[in-house]
Amino acid sequence: MSNATPQPTRQIARQSTRTRVNQRRNEDINLAGPQPQRPRLDPHNTYYEPGYKQQNPWTQEEGQNSGFSLAGTFPHKVRWQKPHNSDRKVEIAEDEEKGEAEPAPQVSAANEQGDQQAPHGGEDSEDTAVDEDDCKFADEEVESQSSSGRSTPKKRRLDAFAPNHTPAGAVVERSDTKELPPSERPFNEWARLRIKFHRPLAEFLGALIFAFIGCGGDLAVVTSQQNAGTLYSTYWNWGFGIMFAIYVAGGGSGGFINPALTVMLSLFRGFPARRIPTYILAQVTGCFVGALLAVGIYLDHIYHLDGGLIPDSTGLYLYTQPKPWVSAATTFFTEFLGTAVLGCCILALGDSGNSPPGAGMHAFVIGLLVQVLVMSFGYTTHGCFNPARDLGPRLAAMAAGYPTSLFTASNNYWIWGAWGAPMCGALAGALMYDLCIFRGGESPVNFSYTRYKLEGRKGLRAWLRTLGRDKGAKESERKIEEGIAHERRHGSML
């Protein structure tokens, strides 16, 4: 008779799961890479909005980071119509005898993927034992309505899911309605204001750092007559400038720093369009302040070099402008193609289904990308590829005392060259990437004809309501409901 103490069932289940995973890993060694029949784990903590997996079966839900940021992969958004997600609902198990539920584990810790988590399908899908450490947890806020029509207080529910994405039950449900009185809250007025405007403030600060480093480096080279650096130094300045800008603003606003990329991500990835004006304003303002600071600390050197503020001398190292002998077509397509490469690569770096860099490396790689683009195409136009990078320093130069003729130079280049070409180029680069590579349902390239037709009817309904034509608006509403029902029946949610 053995005196050994038997191991707990939970530990045995964990060890058996790890053993099966290790055996499968040994069996799946292949020089051609991982086999396609098993889903891939996403190590980049990409957020998948509820319902996205139903529209895109090749994906799997891994992370909880739902914000757009150039410092990581982009979230996968369900655009336009939100589908019902009844298969993910979990009934709350209430036990009055047990009293209050125990505190729930931290969601961030529960989402970590370890060796004990088994892949989907295969032999493991038949196991009925669910280990708490093998579960994934979904933290969501629930707001219901009473019979009187009033909204009940929000409650936070933590649902658990097994490794094969089957519901494992509700862990805890608690109310979040209790608030501290204003006198006991830890925030002052500025802190509350910053919370409200944290995105434009972060974008402003990132753009300021970007322009300050870039313009400061350019002025150092030109005012020292290349004794403090060479033309290659300016390329590195702009590359590292955007890298540090993304590191600073990536967690707050996403660190776009570029109006062309902001519009591109809104059209092709579902970034909220209502934020575009404030983002662009913050980007241009940040570049304006950053360039103005650079001019301020180099103003003595500028006067020592030229004896005044000359646009064709030091001014060209603040904003962008093509060489006098270059045609307008060459100038336009230089900026167009350069920004197209930038937009295409940005989407590739943010695509969790491609080969994005590791954690914390996105900003560094984007900095190298900008440095390479400026080095390759900067000779013609000084390398803009960012409308805010031109308009902000151009306004700063005028504010510092440069003549206003800098806005009419090269046939108003700042309009068609610094703004028109990058805007069109970013959209063209995104279009090429989605046509050739991207498979997600949030891209307009992958929208079905039914989706386009449905959204057109929604736009028509809005205009009819604005014009006061209620009868036509009701007819459009009926067709919209029929289209949604058709999508749900036939599964055409792209």
Q: 293 — phi, psi (to 5°)? A: -65, -40
Q: Tens digit of pLDDT per residue, the chain (494 long)? A: 445 554 444 444 444 444 444 444 444 433 333 434 444 445 556 777 777 666 565 555 344 456 777 777 777 777 655 444 444 444 444 444 444 433 333 333 333 433 443 334 334 433 444 444 444 444 444 444 444 444 444 454 555 555 555 555 555 444 444 555 666 565 678 888 888 899 999 999 999 999 999 999 999 999 999 898 888 899 999 999 999 999 999 988 999 999 999 999 999 998 988 999 999 999 999 999 999 999 999 999 999 999 999 999 999 999 999 999 999 999 999 999 999 999 999 999 999 888 888 778 999 999 999 999 999 999 999 999 999 999 999 999 999 999 999 999 999 999 999 999 999 999 999 999 999 999 888 888 988 777 777 777 877 887 888 888 888 888 888 877 777 776 666 655 44
Q: Please check whether residue 189 is in contact with residue 265, taking contact to mean a CB–CB distance below 8 angstroms.
A: no
Outline where 28-181 has alpha helix (H): 52-55, 107-110
SS3 call for 243: helix
Outline where 350-469 has alpha helix (H): 362-381, 387-400, 409-415, 421-436, 449-466
Helix axes 259-269, 276-306, angle to 10 degrees: 160
Residues 6+ apart with CB under 8 A from 328: 411, 416
Domain ranges for the chain, please list them: 193-440, 451-490
For position 193, what pLDDT does the model report?
Answer: 84
Q: 183 — phi, psi (to 5°)? A: -70, -20
Query: Cβ–Cβ contacts within 10 Å for residue 313, how many?
Result: 14
Q: Please check whether residue 118 is in contact with residue 129, taking contact to mean a CB–CB distance below 8 angstroms.
A: no
Q: 170 — phi, psi (to 5°)? A: -85, 130
Outline where 111-197 has alpha helix (H): 189-196
For position 179, what pLDDT does the model report?
Answer: 56
For position 242, what pLDDT does the model report?
Answer: 96
For position 375, what pLDDT does the model report?
Answer: 94
Residues 6+ apart with CB under 8 A from 240: 213, 367, 371
Topology adopted by domain 193-440: Glycerol uptake facilitator protein (1.20.1080)
For position 75, what pLDDT does the model report?
Answer: 78
